[in-house]
Chains A and B, each alone.
Chain A
Amino acid sequence: MRRRSKAVKRGRGRSGRRRVPLLELAHARSGDKGDTANVGLIALKPEYYPILVKQVTAARVARHFKGMVKGPVERFELPNLGALNFLLHGALDGGGTISLKTDAQGKVLSTALLRLEIELPR
C-alpha cells in the first residue's frame, strides 16, 4: 500500500506528462538460468524503443523489483529487435529445483516488469 501512495496516479504526472504502465508500450518474456532470471522486454512499436532505452534503466528495474531480487540487475540492448534484456541476479530463491517459489523459473517476472510506470508527453 505504501508503494502505491508514493506513485503518481496514472494520467496525472508532471504538467504536460502522463503516466502509463509499461504494458501499453511493450511485451515481454522471462525465463531462468540458475538463480538468475532474465526478462526480455520488447517494444510494441519501433517508436517506443527509445522510450524504453531511456526510462527502463537497470537501476529503475532494480528499484521496481526491490525485495524480490537479491543481486544486481544487468541490462543489455538489442536495438535490432527493439528489445532490452535484463538479468535479475538472485531472483529465484536459489533457482531451478532448489527454489521454493511458485515461479521458481521466473516465468511471470515478465508481466511483473510490465507493471512499471512510464512517463509520456501528453
Chain B
Amino acid sequence: MTAQRASLSPTVRIAAGQGFWGDWLEAPYRQVTGGPIDYLMMDYLAEVTMSIMQKQKSRDPSLGYATDFVPLMERILPTLAERGIKVTANAGGVNPRACAEAVAAAARALGLAGKLKIGILTGDDLLGRLDGLLARGHQLRNLDTGRPLRDVRDRVLSANAYLGAWPVVEALRRDADIVITGRVTDTGLTLAPMIHAFGWRPDDWDLLAAGTVAGHTIECGAQCSGGNCLVEWQRIPDLANVGYPIVAAHPDGTFEITKHAGTGGRITVAGVTEQLVYEMGNPAEYITPDCVADFTTIRLAQAGKDRVRVSGVRGRPATDKLKVSIAYSYGYKAVGSLVYAWPDAYKKAKAADRVLRQRLKDLGLGFEAMLSEFVGADATHGPLALASAPLGELPEVQLRIGVRSPDRAAVERFTREIAPLILNGPPSVTGFAGGRPKPEQIVAYWPALVDKRMVEPCVEIVDV
C-alpha cells in the first residue's frame, strides 16, 4: 500500500501486534490475516530491555535486538507483501541494522527479494556519546532523584534517547514497508502512520496529541480489548481467542478502537478508560517527543459492539527535551521461597522467617534490603489484606523472602540458607522444587532528559 492509496481513504487501520517483548506470538498473525488493516504496530521495548540487548550485543555484535521478531515476521511476511500491510516496530533494540538484516534474509528466503523495503532508524543510542555529553555540561540528572549521572557513570550499561514519530514518518515517506527502530516511543509507532497517511504537520498539536492517545490506547496490546480488565471480568467473552486492538483513524484526529470480527475479548468505554489511565502521571501533561497530550480532553463513546469512538483530544507544543533511558548496574538480589501447609500455615511461615533472619544476622551478612512476604496472606495487599484474612485457616502460605546488596557474596550466602529450613525449621514445609535461587544482577533504570538538538535520528532504507 502506498501513501497515495492511504490518502484516498478516510480511514487508516493500525493494528497492535505486540505490547511488549514476550507478548502473545499468535497476535500479529491473527491481526494481518483476520481482516483488513493498513499497518501493524509492534512495541517491544520496556525500560530495561535495552540493557539486556546491549549485553547481548557486547557478546555477539550480530545480536542486540528482539530475536523473537524474526520468526514472527517470517510467518507474516508473505501476507504483508500480498496485502500491502506496513509494519512499525521498535524490535531493533540496540542493533536495528542487524535486526533488519535478519528480517531481510528471511524475506529473501521466502522469495520476496525486490518486493519489500526496510527502513532502519538509528541515532537513539547515546552510550558511546555519554562522556562527551557530560563533558559539555549535560548532567543527565535522574528525573526521580535529581542525582547527576556522573555518580553512576562507571556502571552505565546502556543509554538511549526516546525518539518520536517523525523519523518513522520519514522512513514511511521513503517507501519503507517495514520500519525497524531502536528506542522509539510506544506511541510514536502508532502516530507515525497517521501523520504519514493524513499529511499532518509538526505543529498540528491537537492532531498529534490525538494520534498519541491512539498509540497509548493500543501500545499494551489486548489490555484495551478485554485483557486485564476488572469490569465484569467474568463476562468478557472468549479471552482464549482475544482480539488485539485496531485503531481506525481519521484525518481529523478522531478514531475508533475496534478489533477483528469473530475474535474474543471486549472493547468498551470502561475497558478503554482503564488503559488510558494505565501508567499515567499528570493526565494534563502526557509528554512525548512529538507533543504534550492533554488526557483531560479525551471524549469516549460506545459506537457499537466492540467499538469505542475517541474524540476531542487537545495537545500543546512539544518540549525541547528528549527523555533518555539509561540502564546501570545497581547490585545483586535473590528471592527464595518455601511453602507451609495447614494447620497454622501462616504461623509456620512467620516462624521460619524469624529463624532465617536470625541466622542471617548471626552470619553478619549486610543487606541493603530484606523483604519477607507471605503469599496467600499479604504479598499483594499488605496490611490491608491481613486485616480481614482468616489467618488461622489458610490452607497454605508461601514464605517469599528476598535480599538486595551491592555485595554478590552476601547474596550468594543468603541463597544457601533457605533449603536447610526444610529439615531444620518449622514443619509441614514443601515447594522447593525450583532449587536454590540464583543471585541476579540488578540492572536499574535511570531516567533523564537531554536537549533535543543533541540527538540526530538517522533513517536508511534497504531493499530486501
User: B158-171 toward A: CB 8 Å interface, digit per residue (1/0)?
Assistant: 00000000000000
Residues B373 and A38 in contact, CB atoms below 8 Å apart: no
Please, what's the 1-or-0 string for A29-45, where 1 marks a CB less than 8 Å from any CB in chain B?
11111111010111010
Min Cβ gap A11→B in Å is: 15
- Chain B residues whose CB sits within 8 angstroms of the CB of A85 once the complex forms: 277, 280-281, 283
- Residues B345-403 near A (CB distance < 8 A): 369-371, 373, 375, 379-388, 400, 402-403
Q: Which residue of B228, B230, B296 contacts A80 across the interface (Cβ within 8 Å)? A: B296
Say whether B333 faces chain A, with CB atoms less than 8 Å apart: yes
Given contacts A42-B277, A97-B48, A112-B380, contact A78 B231 (CB under 8 A): no
Given that A78-B295, A98-B442, A112-B382 are contacting pairs, would A33 and B387 also be in contact in the complex, using a CB cutoff of 8 Å? no
A51 interfacial by beta-carbon distance below 8 Å: no
Interface centre among A77, A80, A87 (most CB of B within 10 A): A80
Q: From residue B53, how far is it (CB to closest CB) to chain A in Å? A: 15
Residue among B48, B230, B281, B284 making CB contact with A96, cutoff 8 Å:
B48
* Residues of A86-100 whose CB lies within 8 A of B: 87, 93-98, 100
In angstroms, Cα B51 to Cα A22, docked, is: 40
Instruction: Bin the interface of chain A by size.
Output: 35 or more
Please give me the residue from chain B that is nearest to A42 by CB atom.
Answer: B273
**Residues in B whose Cβ lies below 8 Å from that of A96:** 47-48, 444-445
For B, the interface residue count at a CB cutoff of 8 angstroms equals: 53
Q: Which of B270, B333, B381, B400 contacts A108 (CB 8 A)?
A: B381
Question: Is the pair B447, A34 in contact by a Cβ cutoff of 8 Å?
Answer: yes
Minimum CB distance partner of B446 in chain A? A34
Residue from B144, B277, B283, B382 in contact with A34 in the complex, judged by beta carbons closer than 8 Å = B144
**Chain A residues, Cβ within 8 Å of B379:** 101-103
- In B201-240, the 8 Å CB interface with A consists of 228, 230-231
Q: Is the interface of B mostly helix, strand, loop or mixed?
A: mixed
Q: Is B127 an interface residue (CB 8 A)?
A: no
Closest to A30 in B: B278
B385 / chain A contacts, CB cutoff of 8 Å:
112
| Complex contacts, B295 vs chain A, CB 8 Å | 78, 81
30 A–B contacts from the bound complex (CB under 8 Å): A1-B387, A3-B383, A29-B275, A33-B279, A34-B447, A38-B278, A38-B281, A40-B276, A40-B278, A42-B273, A44-B231, A44-B270, A67-B382, A68-B384, A76-B280, A77-B296, A79-B296, A80-B296, A80-B297, A82-B273, A83-B277, A94-B404, A97-B48, A97-B330, A97-B442, A100-B335, A100-B403, A108-B380, A112-B380, A112-B384
Binding site for B on A (CB under 8 A): 1, 3-4, 27-36, 38, 40-42, 44, 64-65, 67-68, 76-83, 85, 87, 93-98, 100-103, 108, 110-112, 115
